[in-house]
A and B are shown apart, each in its own frame.
Chain A
């Protein structure tokens, strides 16, 4: 029977590709967070550049439209002095019938060093990682419902920044867990770093089968789920899921699972509120909370650049 090695690690056990937080050792997560810490300084300097990736080519390979994530990767790569090439595949080869692997092989022939991949299909970055050359690295920028590891890492970074010790925390993730790659990545990161209680809060229709197996406690009642939480992570509810067989309406979702100041008061007094963005105000989160003192939503975005710089510099060095 073929043994499948962890496809993210090289033969020395170092990070070769970043495909998923699941399966990464704690040491590597801490290494990424510590490296990101050193880059926060860079992003605050007047000259926001370091020469770590000078002469290297970073290909932003987006098979699914995204502005925010692509831009943050672009900024991160440029601050590391890399050359960045943006490819919006949805309007190029994919429509001409070129296969995913052909596209990658072609770009590889143009001397790529790092591929940043977003794809609507879970597992697509794994397929690419299996077929690239040994010196090329793949970073998953979101695949289907499966994983969004850099978002998970920036969430971890934000939590560590405000809360220091992971081993005493209660973290609640609220909303559409079923379709969320952000939630899956964050859950794996939190459990790996020793968070004793990770909760997921949502209606049955938005929780995937057997989610408890990921090491989380399930709550359907948001008030019970928020009680004594240190961290509240709100997830984005996609427009197309607001009405239909999963939910009757955005209003009704807000009534049960929208984060209001009144519900947030059930969490710890120093709780932080996070959101991967873009927010639907009045659907999953009330404006008074989004803009209130507990919100760390904008710092998340800033940290996101440092975290992506850290991931790129680490894989390129391995």
Chain B
């Protein structure tokens, strides 16, 4: 299949290029010049950019098919312009065996939609006791190792895991949360939690764990990606760690750069998230740190939850929000709020996560995989449960008026979504 995309505003976040141009696709790759195209796509009024790369999207398989399936969530990914996604290991059973990872890869491949990069469990059953067979899991297709949202309280195990991973240069993706301080908490420990009578998780539950993690990185030189920062204090720690030259990167979820604990309102369980939404100062610090590059990537942290899981009192409600279809418009909204150009805003959901993943997509260079999104950056839409393709309708952004609609998604040179 040879494609010719014409009349587009071509934006390549990797180089900062932003202007009118043509794109040619041949044999699943971007190509410098066009021969005879099988299909010409007129992208007048649309932006052509690398497909989005989301470092955290739960597909709920295996084990939670009643919440979502690979089909439904990969459809949601394509509708959101996401062409590659990494899925955390907190499935049931967790991704701690090569066989499971292999099966997931095959299932995803057979659907030929978005590319799925499994993140393996760092410890067996995510229990934080014994290391998984990281070598075999890597052979099976795992791109990194993680505990998802399950705390690894034993710092001895954490230290050993980082040593082992560093030996073979396996990336480790971890959230920073001190398990004892976070225990029982469901909201940011502050005025809002005090008013609502919700058990709090203090911001220092994150900064203490992050400081400890960075110290272990210093000792082991493991390649660590810190997931879902939520506190302003963490930004400072990451800034210093990067200045020092530690092999670290980090991300933040879309809801944490747009929302804060005030949005809990009257116990809105859509705002029950892990980590919790924190104060306005935290939100603003995260948003700025993402703009200045201290935070490398923006992720959806896509977590489909069924209605029963959210129709519960706040503390019992299942944490998480659906997000694959909102990543692009929310990234555009964030970029605008920070006065960034389109290329700079898109970098956080394309070329920067590609760098963390170590993949060749996420840019428009000739020879790169032809994973593309064509979108109308100004087209307005209202976030509504009925129009979400994801099986999860749970998002605090329901009812928001956002701009940015995906018109066409291309994976591996094939048009896989059109609207």
Q: At the interface, yes or no: A308 with Cβ under 8 Å from chain B?
A: no
Q: At the interface, yes or no: A246 with Cβ under 8 Å from chain B?
A: no
Q: Contact residue range for chain A?
A: 20 to 34
Q: At the interface, yes or no: A166 with Cβ under 8 Å from chain B?
A: no
Proximity string of chain B (307-326) to chain A, C-beta cutoff 8 Å, 1 when within and 0 when not:
01001111110000000000
Contact present for B399 and A127 (CB under 8 Å): no
Q: At the interface, yes or no: B245 with Cβ under 8 Å from chain A?
A: no
Selected contact of B196 from candidates A122, A127, A213, CB within 8 Å: A122
Proximity string of chain B (180-196) to chain A, C-beta cutoff 8 Å, 1 when within and 0 when not:
00000000011101111
Contact present for A208 and B267 (CB under 8 Å): no
Q: Which residues of A contact B267 (CB under 8 A)?
A: 122-123, 126-127
Contact present for B194 and A213 (CB under 8 Å): yes
Min C-beta distance of B286 to chain A, whole Å: 20
Proximity string of chain B (370-405) to chain A, C-beta cutoff 8 Å, 1 when within and 0 when not:
000000000000000000000000000011110000
Q: At the interface, yes or no: A132 with Cβ under 8 Å from chain B?
A: no
Complex Cα distance, B196 from A146, in Å, reads 5
Stretch from A1-9, A285-293, A297-305 contacting the other chain: A1-9
Q: At the interface, yes or no: A40 with Cβ under 8 Å from chain B?
A: no
Q: At the interface, yes or no: A143 with Cβ under 8 Å from chain B?
A: yes
Q: At the interface, yes or no: A181 with Cβ under 8 Å from chain B?
A: yes
Q: At the interface, yes or no: B358 with Cβ under 8 Å from chain A?
A: no
Complex Cα distance, B314 from A119, in Å, reads 12
Which A residues from 129 to 151 make CB contacts under 8 A with B? 143-147
Contact present for B191 and A184 (CB under 8 Å): no
Contact present for A184 and B265 (CB under 8 Å): no
* CB-based nearest B residue for A147: B197
Contact present for B197 and A209 (CB under 8 Å): no
Q: Contact residue range for chain B?
A: 20 to 34
Q: At the interface, yes or no: B168 with Cβ under 8 Å from chain A?
A: no
Selected contact of B311 from candidates A1, A2, A127, A213, CB within 8 Å: A127
Contact present for B315 and A208 (CB under 8 Å): no
Q: At the interface, yes or no: A101 with Cβ under 8 Å from chain B?
A: yes
Q: Given A209-B190, A213-B191, are A100 and B312 neighbors across the interface (CB < 8 Å)?
A: yes
Contact present for B200 and A208 (CB under 8 Å): yes
Contact present for B265 and A4 (CB under 8 Å): yes
Contact present for B313 and A210 (CB under 8 Å): no
Q: At the interface, yes or no: B268 with Cβ under 8 Å from chain A?
A: yes
Q: Which residues of A contact B194 (CB under 8 A)?
A: 208-211, 213-214
Complex Cα distance, B193 from A119, in Å, reads 17
Min C-beta distance of A23 to chain B, whole Å: 9
Q: At the interface, yes or no: B202 with Cβ under 8 Å from chain A?
A: yes
Contact present for A210 and B400 (CB under 8 Å): no
Q: At the interface, yes or no: B198 with Cβ under 8 Å from chain A?
A: yes
Contact present for B312 and A208 (CB under 8 Å): no
Complex Cα distance, B399 from A213, in Å, reads 30
Selected contact of B314 from candidates A1, A22, A122, A214, CB within 8 Å: A122
Q: Given A122-B315, A123-B313, A127-B313, are A4 and B193 neighbors across the interface (CB < 8 Å)?
A: no
Q: Which residues of B contact A274 (CB under 8 A)?
A: none
Q: At the interface, yes or no: A205 with Cβ under 8 Å from chain B?
A: no
Contact present for B195 and A184 (CB under 8 Å): yes
Proximity string of chain B (197-233) to chain A, C-beta cutoff 8 Å, 1 when within and 0 when not:
1111010000000000000000000000000000000
Q: At the interface, yes or no: A66 with Cβ under 8 Å from chain B?
A: no
Q: Which residues of A contact B315 (CB under 8 A)?
A: 121-123, 144
Proximity string of chain B (76-100) to chain A, C-beta cutoff 8 Å, 1 when within and 0 when not:
0000000000000000000000000
Contact present for B266 and A2 (CB under 8 Å): no
Contact present for B313 and A101 (CB under 8 Å): no
Selected contact of A209 from candidates B202, B266, B311, CB within 8 Å: B202
Q: Which residues of B contact A111 (CB under 8 A)?
A: none
Selected contact of B308 from candidates A99, A143, A184, A210, CB within 8 Å: A99
* CB-based nearest A residue for B265: A4
* CB-based nearest A residue for B311: A101
* CB-based nearest B residue for A19: B266
Which A residues from 1 to 50 make CB contacts under 8 A with B? 1-2, 4, 7, 22
Complex Cα distance, B191 from A22, in Å, reads 14
* CB-based nearest A residue for B308: A99
Q: Which residues of A contact B398 (CB under 8 A)?
A: 2
Contact present for B399 and A145 (CB under 8 Å): no
Q: Given A126-B266, A127-B267, are A119 and B195 neighbors across the interface (CB < 8 Å)?
A: no
Which B residues from 289 to 338 make CB contacts under 8 A with A? 308, 311-316
* CB-based nearest A residue for B269: A127
Complex Cα distance, B401 from A147, in Å, reads 34
Contact present for B196 and A123 (CB under 8 Å): yes
Residue of B200, B202, B312 contacting most chain A CB atoms (<10 Å): B312
Contact present for A127 and B193 (CB under 8 Å): no
Contact present for B197 and A119 (CB under 8 Å): no
Contact present for B400 and A1 (CB under 8 Å): yes
Q: At the interface, yes or no: A124 with Cβ under 8 Å from chain B?
A: yes
Contact present for A4 and B268 (CB under 8 Å): yes
* CB-based nearest B residue for A210: B191
* CB-based nearest A residue for B314: A123
Contact present for B202 and A123 (CB under 8 Å): no
Contact present for B308 and A209 (CB under 8 Å): no
Contact present for A145 and B198 (CB under 8 Å): yes
Min C-beta distance of A72 to chain B, whole Å: 22
Complex Cα distance, B311 from A126, in Å, reads 11
Complex Cα distance, B314 from A4, in Å, reads 16
Min C-beta distance of B329 to chain A, whole Å: 14
Contact present for A122 and B198 (CB under 8 Å): yes
* CB-based nearest B residue for A6: B266
Complex Cα distance, B313 from A22, in Å, reads 19
Q: Which residues of A contact B269 (CB under 8 A)?
A: 127
* CB-based nearest B residue for A145: B197
- Given A123-B313, A209-B194, 4 more pairs with CB closer than 8 A: A121-B313, A122-B267, A126-B266, A184-B197
Q: Which 8 A-B pairs have the closest CB atoms?
A: A146-B197, A123-B267, A145-B197, A121-B313, A210-B191, A2-B399, A208-B194, A213-B191
15 inter-chain pairs at a CB distance below 8 angstroms, sorted by A residue, are A2-B398, A4-B265, A22-B195, A121-B314, A122-B196, A122-B267, A122-B315, A127-B267, A208-B193, A209-B191, A209-B193, A210-B191, A210-B194, A213-B194, A213-B195
